[in-house]
Chain A
């Protein structure tokens, strides 16, 4: 389907596709196997200026556009979602700074993220607080000119690899979700350590670790906006980042679909190519249609953000929900079409199936997405009366 991308968007997409095909596809199985962080590929992405496309121009970026971010994430995900999440998580870590930091904070952190010299990360989840952001136990107490952080963040993408972390911590427990605040914490700050690297089902090239704060003192100036604003920071960040997860899901699905389509035109059974069988044809038709619908929804949400829509909570959640469910279904079907070969590690579709699962879980489980969508739908009908 032609989405009438601008010339610059087309360029961005082609560049990301070139990196995916030439630099990621040949090594993805190796990184999936070893779980090693793909620094060489991150450097290629940085040298291509692709970390600049989600950072505003005044901070050495090339324009803060959700559509560009979606295009790059999709193309990289087509090759490897482990690589693409490491890239997209840096955008996720940068979004709160772009949205809520003051000029001085932006000048300090955004140029480093734009050049790709520093990766960023976003830290909300804890062992007892994921979907329920109000249950956060990490605390931040003001002591003179510094905040003192204590607690442990769990399952943080780019943990240990990133230099810049946006961390959500409790500053006033009595106010629940309205008592959390957002801080920028730099790697290397005394009292800030990393826990073990998680061994995951999928997206294995990416690093997922605990962040451990033990009397970690950060300058007062590292608070985003003001105390008590952290929950809004987190929610607005997710609104903006969810089309990115949707794009990741579309990319994974597209990668698996292309493998299935190619295989169906090579594999012969009963003297015919399996692509000539209606059973396979119906599967391919459904997969292709679902992917296109997911892509259209994702791009539409991204365009809304870029055109300056005030509220895109519902559309972002819909894109994330739909695209991630499509990615799961399409990758399972791709393994099915490849049959026994699909189940083997010599072919990439089993990895894609493992990678797809996380898109239904992170940045808000799909159950949370449904809650968000429903509450927005109901709120809209109430406000219209």
Chain B
């Protein structure tokens, strides 16, 4: 039984700059961290392992350039058992479709997994597509925005899904994929023994040849997404505020709404 956590290394800021020629992120000179939402997924994997008396093997999996090794070692220092890095020049330029296809192939190769955990989205791209994409390629049941894992046994898992109003309780058959939110837990800090162990640990490297995948479905060629423009939507304007006692304000709001023909 394995619990696989998908992680992404992201720049440590939401103010990343974009290369205007290629419309991709410029990563140089920005410190890299594990995507914060993925930290909750790592922590939950460790807690599930403790809950299940240490039985499942925890694995972190990531795709990216060789420097992603730092992120994987950080996960190991927190207590994750094994780290796999998918790195190959052929993977460069992958969009969420190609990325989820490649990650799914690696998960298949890892085999014997019960649960795949991901953060709800990455703070750089914010697409929230890779988790659901992986579930689709692997034909796994999926639940997103998980804030609590109530029960887990060999066959199924009972979770709470955070909604705008309240939450859903969902039971899924295992293996399944979950994407998680920050309400789930508080990630632990690494331990000194964990850091020393992580420093020496072997990171498993898999490239194109190792995964048995179609070349035209990966990297830039396998990515139908074409980024036209990246921009932040303009922040909401303050709007009009009505001060004074409730009766007067209500009257003013009513007049405003009727005059603008909203009601």
Contact = CB atoms under 8 A, between A and B. Distances in A.
Contacts of B195: 11, 15
A47 interface: yes
Given A8-B196, A11-B196, A49 B191 contact: yes
B30 interface: no
Contacts of A8: 196
B190 A48 contact: yes
B80 to A, nearest CB: 16
A50 B189 contact: no
A25 B189 CA distance: 15
B97 to A, nearest CB: 36
A49 B193 contact: yes
Interface string A220-239: 00000000000000000000
| Interface SS, A side | helix
Nearest to B195: A11
Query: How big is the A interface, by class?
Result: 10 to 19
B192 A53 contact: yes
Contacts of A22: 189
B47 interface: no
A49 B192 contact: yes
Contacts of B193: 49, 52, 62
A215 B195 CA distance: 47
B169 interface: no
A12 B190 CA distance: 11
Interface string A1-28: 0000001100110010011001100000
Interface string A340-355: 0000000000000000
B192 A52 contact: yes
Interface string A29-47: 0000000000000001001
| Interface SS, B side | helix
A47 B196 contact: no
B188 interface: yes
A15 B189 contact: yes
Nearest to A46: B191
A274 B193 CA distance: 45
A53 B196 CA distance: 13
A76 to B, nearest CB: 13
Contacts of B188: 47
A15 B199 CA distance: 14
Interface string B175-197: 00000000000001111111110
Interface in B172-224: 188-196, 199
Interface string A41-70: 000100111101100000000100000000
Contacts of B196: 8, 11
Contacts of A19: 189
B192 A62 contact: yes
B221 to A, nearest CB: 41
Contacts of B191: 15, 47-49
A52 B199 CA distance: 19
Contacts of A18: 189
Which of B189, B192, B194, B195: most chain A CB closer than 10 A?
B192
B56 to A, nearest CB: 21
A19 to B, nearest CB: 6
A205 B189 CA distance: 22
B43 to A, nearest CB: 13
Contacts of A47: 188-189, 191
A50 B193 CA distance: 10
Contacts of B199: 7, 11
Given A11-B192, A12-B192, 13 more contacts: A7-B199, A11-B196, A18-B189, A19-B189, A44-B189, A47-B191, A48-B190, A48-B192, A49-B191, A50-B192, A52-B193, A53-B192, A62-B193
The 5 nearest A-B residue pairs measured at CB: A49-B192, A49-B191, A48-B191, A49-B193, A11-B195
30 contacts: A7-B199, A11-B192, A11-B195, A11-B196, A11-B199, A12-B192, A15-B189, A15-B190, A15-B191, A15-B192, A15-B195, A18-B189, A19-B189, A22-B189, A23-B189, A44-B189, A47-B188, A47-B191, A48-B189, A48-B190, A48-B191, A48-B192, A49-B191, A49-B192, A49-B193, A49-B194, A50-B192, A52-B192, A53-B192, A62-B192
